[in-house]
């Protein structure tokens, strides 16, 4: 606890450095002696003593207090946000029993729910409330009464309420302020869609950044063994299941290696033929479903009248199309997963991707057909067509919800009953994350399309997702088992967000945009009646603005920027150029990574080669001296270096280097000793660590602050800005080591960081090694004389490096 | 809500908030959980920094750790003496390093330490075998175990010394984006 109180004593901006340095110290400490807290304490004391010498000016005091205050506010904000988080306990329970991949579904559902809550608040606040205030009772024709069927069909009584587009007026509401309903409607919808798009793009970018390796060879056992264990699973049965799954997967991967055979040509052709066939089949199935829905819509439209009142039968008939759509969405994916039986993919992941792509295509075809029908047929035929479209969407949402519940019941509950009681061979069903996520993405797309036509649809969505969450949770816990394949939760999340954005959000946005741009609004109802297109409301507004003084800049922006083509052309060109530049930079860095990796491998080989030679040399020179441990990373110091001859001096140098190397490697990440050399090495490593995480940004604050702390401590090293320079001659050789570390860690294009002399040294050592390998040409490398020439050359090369660095400083 | 508690001084809570990824409320909750482990040992009042350590046998009874195959290693890694006796500092450190907000670098370092059974700063084949045994509960044959460990070293070892150094481990983790979400204990 002493650490904590010492932590509390310095105040202000030093606090920030302290916290960061303590966190960094936590990171750098590997040994338990000295322990983490002792290390912290040392760092804190050192920092305090270094800072005491400074004077506190009044300005410094003030800035300290300001930053302290802002940080405290930040903490309050953070804890307030944490209390508002929904369903924390449930998430923990689900994660504990089923693991992270199932949890992604529920997190995704929660995220979409937040979208809908936001949209509902915005719409209700800006559009519905003014309308309700202005006209509290909707003008419903006299012969329409509330029948219970409206809840499902959305037609009838709801038709003229604020539920749909048609219930809104197009006037400027006069009240406390003049509220222009047209502009309000237009801008609310536009701003909401734009904000949605931005939020999606940002979360997609963040997800890509964190999980940037999308296609990797991570079915390897290294990954499985070390990274795939889910630490958050706390349920005993789940843990046992996971262990057995891991065992099975490891066995599979072992046996895969054993049986990797190349397929013969006829077999390859056969597989290819099967692939093509199944893709054709699935595509034609999707297209067929789309066509049938189109014809069904037309058939239904012939039977409906354009009057305001429908009979009960007519209303019930409107449910036919949503029913068929949801049925298709439920049944056809099962066909697709049936294809897996006879279609063999080389990779499990390709199979999953193929399934996802087929399902997405099916849903897009259905949505596309429906949108086409609405925009081309409904818009022509009906008088208040936006409300009709809104009703259709309402019906789709409700029926989709009913089918989700049914699917849950049949797919999971009955299946588990069958699996446990009747055919116990089948077992309990797995929770299919992919299918469920696609279902909620589809549901959300319906909501996004519907937001223009039915502003209060998000309220229905909120209810739907809320109930769905609890339903799925109960079903999951009662009926399902965790997925057998240890799912790649992070990658799946990235893919889901990407799917949500494209094609679903983009499709919804383009449909709404097309409606606003091209289609004439209906003449009798809605806020845009009387205009040619919805977008015309902006023109009207611009005309109005001409009269208001002081708003000419808005008109200027509208005419010169938004309506001019040159502006968009320029922006597109600039963006394309920037993309091209970034792409080239990425290519360059990929190549650099490959080169550096090769360099690491070579360094390892050099090291082992040199040390083998050293051992042989020692054995041949002094048989009584203590032998080194093999491969260099020994803990014991080597014995007294032999004295005397010229080559022994080099042996001495090499031994000293080896000593230092042992120290360096032991303390990487090092413990907090007081030597400047180690600190610099730590700096280098820390910088490498931070640069690994953040390639495109400047090194994080904590690194620079830690460096600042360290450099103020090591006054005797006369460092000014150089982070990689050593002064003492013994550390000159560690510079070579550092260069290697830098080579490992640095992924920037600044290859001038690697001094040319060091790389030439490496080259010389490599050449010496290669020459030696050529010369010896035998497994036993005990010939000291011929080998020693290469060794001596290598030693000279290193000595040269030492001299150069000594000369340089 | 926080002003009425007497477990910690305000300064202590500030210090905790600065040094870990938790908020005030979570720190108080953690203290309650810590106390639950050994009510006779852990005092209610921490304002005068009592030096109390809970032995590992009690810590691993926590529901979050009970079923984890690496619970002993986790507790030992975060303890000061290396044997698993956790003070409250260590306890909070442990859950802070393993929480959702903890950055990848921190988690990588601690994962490396946890998997390094013999604490020589390298994950050698022996460490890997022990890891594998803990994960599969000894149901693979000895031959398979050796095979898997050799494969792992082949795949992950970059500098050819037949052991995984920290940089090898880090390199492998960077190719596994799930690591962040997997190496995570909710409290």
Instruction: Measure the CA–CA gap between A88 and A417, rounded to whole angstroms.
Output: 30
Contact: B17, A75; criterion CB under 8 Å: yes
Q: How far apart are CA A117 and CA A459, in angstroms?
A: 8
**Hey, is the C-beta of A692 within 8 angstroms of any chain B C-beta?**
yes
Task: Decide if A68 touches B, using CB distance below 8 A.
Answer: no
- Cα distances from A348 to residues A353, A354, A425, in angstroms, run 9, 10, 23
Q: What are phi and psi of A86, to 5 degrees?
A: -90, 140
What percent of the residues of chain A are helix, what percent strand, and what percent coil, each to the nearest 5? 75, 0, 25
Check B106 against A27: CB less than 8 A apart: yes
Rounded distance between C-alpha atoms, residue A358 and residue A282, angstroms: 7
What is the C-alpha separation between A248 and B140, in angstroms, rounded? 10
Q: Report the pLDDT value the prediction gives residue A657, as an integer from 0 to 100.
A: 60
Which residue of chain B comes nearest to A635, CA vs CA?
B120
- Contact criterion met (CB below 8 Å) for A67 and A16: yes
CA A464 to CA A443: how far, in whole Å?
A: 9
Supply the pLDDT for residue A458.
92
Alpha carbon of B148 to those of A261, B46, B133: distances in Å?
Answer: 20, 48, 11
- Candidates B42, B34, B10; CA nearest to B24 is B10
Q: Please answer whether residues A483 and A433 qualify as being in contact, where contact means their C-beta atoms are separated by less than 8 angstroms.
A: yes
Closest CB to A668: pick one of B80, B166, B184: B166
Residues 251-290, chain A, touching B (beta carbon < 8 A): 251, 254, 257
Tokens (6 digits) for B91? 């306890």
SS (H, E, C) A22-36: HHHHHHHCCCCCCCH
Interchain contact A544–B (C-beta under 8 A): no
| ipTM of predicted complex | 0.85
Q: What does DSSP assign to residue A84?
A: T
Question: What 3 state SS string does B59-109 have?
Answer: HCCCHHHHCCCCHHHHHHHHCCCCCCCECHHHHHHHHHHCCCCCCHHHHHH
DSSP secondary structure, B114-167, as one string: HH-TT-SSSB-HHHHHHHHHHHHTT-S-HHHHHHHHHHHHHHH-SSSSSSB-HH
- Asked if A642 and A622 touch (Cβ cutoff 8 Å), the reply is yes
- A603 → chain B, closest CA residue: B159
Cα-based torsion angle of the residue sequence A359, A365, A368, A370 in order, rounded to the nearest 10 degrees:
-100
Whose CA is closest to B89, among A3, A16, A41?
Answer: A3
Task: Give the span between the Cα atoms of A528 and A530, in whole angstroms.
Answer: 6
CB contact (8 A) between residue A231 and residue B182: yes
DSSP assignment of A718-732, as one string? T-SS-SS---STHHH
3-class DSSP assignment, residue A174: strand
Q: Is A723 exposed, middle or buried (0-12, 13-18, 19+ CB in 10 A)?
A: middle
Output the six-digit token pair for A713. Answer: 């401590």
Distance CA B72, CA A781 (A): 44
**Per DSSP, what are the bridge partners of residue A173?**
A179
Alpha-carbon distance values, A75 to A22, A102, B26, B33 (Å): 18, 31, 12, 22
**φ and ψ of A738, to 5 deg:** -65, -40
Q: Average pLDDT for consecutive 10-residue bins of chain A (809 residues)? A: 40 44 45 43 54 65 85 79 75 82 88 92 88 76 69 75 81 79 89 93 86 56 74 81 80 66 76 89 93 91 70 79 91 84 74 88 94 87 85 91 88 81 76 87 93 90 93 87 69 86 92 89 82 84 83 83 87 96 95 90 86 90 55 40 44 57 53 42 49 43 42 44 40 46 46 49 69 63 46 62 57
What angle is formed at CA B62 by the lines to CA B57 and CA B63, rounded to 5 degrees? 140
Tell me the C-alpha distance between A92 and A590, whole Å. 39
A127 Cβ neighbours under 8 A, 6+ residues apart = A168, A181, A184, A185, A188, A455
Question: How far, in Å, CA of A599 to CA of A378, rounded?
Answer: 67
H-helix or E-strand containing A172? strand A172-174
Torsion angle of alpha carbons A514, A516, A518, A521, nearest 10°?
A: 140
Q: Does A172 touch chain B (CB under 8 A)?
A: no
The Cα-based distances of A593 to A434, A671, A763 in angstroms read 34, 29, 18
Judged by CB atoms closer than 8 Å, whether chains meet at B106 and A26 is answered as yes
Residues of chain B with pLDDT under 50: 1-2
> Any idea which residue has 């004593």 for tokens?
A9
Cβ atoms within 10 Å of A94's Cβ, excluding its own: 22
To 5 degrees, how large is the angle CA A96–CA A102–CA A108?
115
Distance from the Cα of A798 to chain B's closest Cα (Å) equals: 20
Contact with chain A for residue B159, Cβ under 8 A: yes
Q: Is residue B140 within 8 angstroms of chain A, CB to CB?
A: yes
Q: Which residues contact A756 (CB under 8 A, 6 or more apart)?
A: none
Which helix (H) or strand (E) element contains residue A169?
Answer: none
A237 touches chain B (CB under 8 A): no
A165 and A387 Cβ atoms separated by less than 8 Å: yes
Tokens of A544: 């109005």
Alpha-carbon separation of residue A204 from A192, A492, B165, B174, B176 (angstroms): 18, 12, 33, 19, 18
From the list B24, B120, B144, which residue is nearest A254 (CB)?
A: B144
How distant, in Å, are the alpha carbons of A113, A350, A467, A684, B161 from that of A463? 9, 36, 6, 54, 59
- Of the candidates B25, B69, B156, the beta carbon closest to that of A222 is on B156
Does B19 contact A96 at a Cβ distance shorter than 8 Å?
no
Is residue B130 less than 8 Å (CB to CB) from chain A?
no
Do residue A665 and residue B98 have CB atoms under 8 angstroms apart? no
Angle separating helix axes A433-453 and A489-499, nearest 10 degrees: 30
| Residues A430/A351, Cβ–Cβ less than 8 Å | no
Q: How far apart are CA A38 and CA A42, in angstroms?
A: 6
Tell me the β-bridge partners of A172: A180
Which DSSP letter does residue A419 get? I
Measured CA to CA, the distance from residue A77 to residue A72 in angstroms comes to 9
CA distance A75 to chain B (A): 7
What is the pTM for the complete model shown? 0.71
* A contact residues 176-195, partner B, Cβ 8 Å cutoff: none
Residues of B in contact with A247 (CB under 8 A): 136, 139-140
**What's the CA gap between B80 and A595, in Å, rounded?**
41
Q: Which residues pair with B86 in a beta bridge?
A: B54
Question: What does the H/E/C string look like for A61-83?
Answer: HHHHHHHHHHHHHHHHHHHHHHH
Rg (CA), chain A: 35
Contacts (Cβ under 8 Å, ≥6 apart) of A233 = A95, A96, A97, A98, A99, A239, A242, B67
Task: For residue A16, give how far its alpha carbon lies from the nearest alpha carbon of chain B (Å).
Answer: 8
């Amino acid at each position: 606890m002493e650490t904590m109180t010492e932590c509390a004593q310095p105040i202000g901006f030093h606090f920030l450095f302290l916290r960061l340095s303590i966190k960094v110290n936590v990171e750098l400490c590997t040994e338990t002696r000295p322990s983490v807290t002792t290390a912290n304490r040392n760092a804190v004391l050192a920092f305090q003593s270094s800072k005491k010498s400074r004077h506190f000016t009044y300005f410094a005091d003030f800035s300290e207090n300001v930053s302290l205050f802002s940080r405290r506010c930040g903490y309050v904000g953070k804890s307030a946000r944490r209390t508002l988080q929904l369903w924390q306990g449930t998430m923990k329970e689900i994660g504990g029993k089923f693991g992270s991949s199932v949890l992604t579904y529920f997190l995704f559902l929660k995220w979409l729910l937040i979208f809908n809550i936001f949209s509902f608040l915005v719409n209700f606040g800006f559009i519905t409330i003014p309308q309700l205030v202005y006209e509290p009772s909707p003008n419903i024709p006299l012969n329409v009464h509330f029948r219970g069927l409206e809840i499902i069909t959305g037609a009838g009584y709801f038709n003229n309420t604020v539920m749909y587009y048609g219930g809104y007026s197009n006037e400027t509401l006069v009240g406390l302020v003049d509220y222009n309903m047209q502009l309000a409607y237009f801008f609310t919808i536009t701003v909401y869609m734009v904000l949605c798009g931005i939020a999606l793009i940002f979360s997609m970018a963040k997800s890509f950044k964190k999980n940037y390796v999308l296609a990797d060879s991570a079915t390897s056992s290294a990954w499985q063994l070390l990274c795939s264990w889910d630490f958050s699973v706390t349920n005993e049965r789940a843990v046992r299941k996971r262990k057995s799954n891991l065992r099975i997967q490891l066995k599979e991967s072992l046996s895969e290696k054993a049986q990797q055979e190349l397929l013969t040509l006829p077999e390859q052709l056969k597989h290819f033929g099967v692939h093509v066939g199944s893709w054709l089949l699935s595509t034609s199935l999707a297209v067929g479903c789309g066509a049938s829905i189109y014809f069904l819509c037309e058939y239904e439209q012939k039977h409906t009248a354009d009057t305001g009142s429908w009979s009960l039968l007519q209303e019930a008939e409107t449910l036919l199309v949503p029913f068929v759509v949801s049925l298709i969405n439920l049944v056809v994916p099962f066909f697709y997963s049936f294809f897996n039986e006879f279609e063999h993919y080389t990779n499990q992941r390709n199979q999953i991707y193929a399934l996802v792509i087929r399902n997405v295509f099916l849903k897009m075809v259905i949505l596309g057909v429906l949108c086409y029908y609405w925009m081309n047929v409904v818009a022509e035929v009906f008088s208040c067509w936006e409300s009709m479209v809104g009703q259709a969407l309402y019906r789709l949402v409700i029926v989709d919800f009913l089918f989700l519940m049914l699917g849950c019941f049949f797919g999971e509950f009955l299946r588990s009953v069958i699996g446990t009681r009747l055919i116990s061979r089948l077992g309990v069903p797995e929770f299919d994350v992919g299918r469920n996520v696609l279902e909620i993405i589809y549901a959300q797309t319906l909501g996004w399309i519907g937001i223009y036509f039915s502003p209060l649809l998000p309220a229905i969505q909120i209810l739907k997702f809320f109930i769905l969450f609890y339903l799925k949770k109960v079903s999951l816990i009662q009926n399902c088992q965790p997925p057998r394949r240890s799912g790649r939760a992070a990658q799946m999340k990235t893919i889901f967000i990407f799917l949500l954005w494209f094609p679903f959000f983009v499709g919804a946005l383009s449909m709404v945009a097309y409606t606003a741009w091209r289609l004439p609004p209906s003449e009798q109802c809605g806020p845009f009646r009387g205009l040619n297109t919805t977008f015309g409301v902006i023109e009207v507004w611009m005309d109005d603005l001409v009269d208001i003084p002081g708003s000419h800049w808005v008109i200027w922006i509208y005419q010169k920027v938004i309506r001019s083509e040159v502006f968009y052309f320029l922006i597109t060109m600039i963006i394309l150029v920037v993309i091209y530049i970034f792409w080239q930079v990425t290519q360059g860095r990929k190549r650099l990574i490959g080169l550096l990796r090769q360099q690491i491998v070579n360094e390892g080989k050099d090291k082992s080669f040199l040390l083998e030679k050293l051992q042989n040399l020692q054995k041949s020179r002094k048989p009584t001296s203590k032998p080194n441990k093999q491969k260099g990373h020994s803990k014991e110091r080597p014995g007294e270096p032999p004295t005397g001859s010229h080559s022994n001096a080099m042996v001495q140098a090499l031994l000293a280097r080896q000593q230092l190397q042992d120290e360096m490697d032991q303390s990487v990440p090092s413990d907090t000793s007081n030597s400047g050399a180690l600190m610099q090495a730590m700096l280098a490593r820390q910088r490498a660590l931070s640069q690994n995480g953040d390639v495109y940004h400047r090194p994080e604050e904590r690194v620079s602050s830690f460096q600042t702390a360290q450099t103020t401590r090591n006054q005797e090293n006369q460092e000014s800005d150089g982070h990689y320079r050593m002064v003492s001659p013994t550390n000159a050789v560690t510079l070579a080591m550092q260069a290697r570390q830098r080579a490992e860690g640095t992924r920037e294009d600044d290859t001038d960081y690697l001094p040319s002399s060091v790389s030439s040294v490496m080259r010389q050592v490599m050449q010496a090694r290669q020459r030696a390998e050529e010369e010896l040409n035998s497994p036993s490398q005990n010939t000291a004389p011929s080998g020693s020439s290469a060794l001596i050359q290598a030693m000279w090369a290193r000595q040269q490096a030492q001299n150069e660095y000594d000369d340089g400083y | 809500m926080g002003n009425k508690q007497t477990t910690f001084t305000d300064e202590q809570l500030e210090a905790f908030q600065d040094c870990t990824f938790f908020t005030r409320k979570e720190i108080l909750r953690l203290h309650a959980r810590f106390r639950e482990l050994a009510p006779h040992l852990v005092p209610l009042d921490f304002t005068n920094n009592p030096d109390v350590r809970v032995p590992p046998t009690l810590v691993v009874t926590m529901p979050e750790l009970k079923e984890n195959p690496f619970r002993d290693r986790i507790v030992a890694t975060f303890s000061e003496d290396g044997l698993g006796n956790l003070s409250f500092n260590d306890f909070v450190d442990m859950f802070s390093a393993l929480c959702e907000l903890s950055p990848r670098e921190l988690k990588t370092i601690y994962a490396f330490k946890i998997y390094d059974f013999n604490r020589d700063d390298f994950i050698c084949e022996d460490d890997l075998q022990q890891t594998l045994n803990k994960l599969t509960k000894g149901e693979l044959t000895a031959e398979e175990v050796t095979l898997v460990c050799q494969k792992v070293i082949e795949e992950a070892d970059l500098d050819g010394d037949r052991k995984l150094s920290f940089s090898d481990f880090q390199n492998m983790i960077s190719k596994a984006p799930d690591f962040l979400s997997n190496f995570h204990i909710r409290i």
